[in-house]
Amino acid sequence: MTVAAARPGQEAAVRELTYAQALNEALREEMARDPRVFVMGEDVAIWGGGGVFGVTKGLVDEFGPERVRDTPISEEGITGMAVGAAVTGMRPVLEIMYVDFTAMAMDAIVNQAAKLRYMFGGRAKVPMVLRAQEGAGRGNAAQHSQSLEAWFCHIPGLKVVTPSTPYDAKGLLKTAIRDDNPVIFLEHKVLYFTKGPVPAGEYTIPFGVADVKREGTDCTVVGIHTMVHKALQAAEELAQEGISVEVIDPRTLVPLDVETLARSVRKTHRLVVTHEAYERCGVGAEIAMAVMREAFDFLDAPVERVCGKNVPIPYAEPLERAALPQKEDLVAAVKRTLGRA
């Protein structure tokens, strides 16, 4: 992390912002800093008043409709235009309303954005950020609730970011906008109105640096998005039984900070990986394998995965909850690694 220095005798002010406000502030600061940065997407400007979750609220009033552009309802068109703009020198930040809708834009993402720099021997840059909302928990049903980070992690040439707090959201989005490569920036919709401390000063967070959200000695839990918060709740509960859990948020899945994860496992000798996405072929399996390559001899129990069920996300609240991993599932998984199930 880099933070602008405060004046002598003063510390940078820290405010409580929502996740959405932190993202909005990052966009505003980067648009003011670099005239090449512009925002585009469905209902992000005049018609939507800042997108479905208000992340781009007020930007069109400050920067005008040339730099905050409402687009037709065409994910393929939006993404294709962003790729072209990026290759020709702009720095677009496009919003896809729900990550489920990236299915309509996969050619532009996978075959164009991800590959152009490689195919042109590094002479072509694609400095674009694709923001999308993912995750369940709001009763949005099967076509608006998926967590699809594994799709993008599979493709060389894409960077994948999954912030879980307002602080991380702002710092990582600023880094993403300044990157010369395509970045898939995934925001969990349940987190938009959660609050947390965000410094008023300039700061960025480098990619590939995980954050230890809670230190512990008995088991490492690596979580993504909402599962970071559920892991912290589980750690609190387990602490009442004398079990010390270390909770780590990778923050970026590509690049992945394997060393921080492995270092933790060398200390705790146990690993639980958790995410809302479907368990089958999820990034939890990749994280588990990457850590085992570096710290297999230190593991005292098999790696546990606590993930979403391999079913479409249901609409009904009781069924949706049953399909998603919960705090209780994490508590049980940690106890299994300790032989206390």
Residues with catalytic roles: 75, 144
* Residue 116 identity (one-letter amino acid): L
Strand order in the sheet with 252-254: 68-70, 37-41, 91-96, 129-134, 183-188, 159-161, 252-254
Structure tokens at 313: 């996300």
Whether 75 and 130 have beta carbons less than 8 Å apart is answered as no
Contacts of 153 (CB under 8 A, 6+ apart): 160, 253, 254, 283, 286
Smallest Cα–Cα separation from 234: which of 306, 309, 137, 317?
A: 306
Rounded to the nearest angstrom, the gap between the alpha carbon of residue 13 and the centroid of all alpha carbons in its chain is 25
Q: Is 339 left (phi over 0), alpha (psi -120 to 50) or beta?
A: left
Whether 198 and 25 have beta carbons less than 8 Å apart is answered as yes
- How far is Cα 208 from Cα 55, in angstroms, rounded to an integer? 25
- How far is Cα 45 from Cα 38, in angstroms, rounded to an integer? 11
- How far is Cα 233 from Cα 312, in angstroms, rounded to an integer? 26
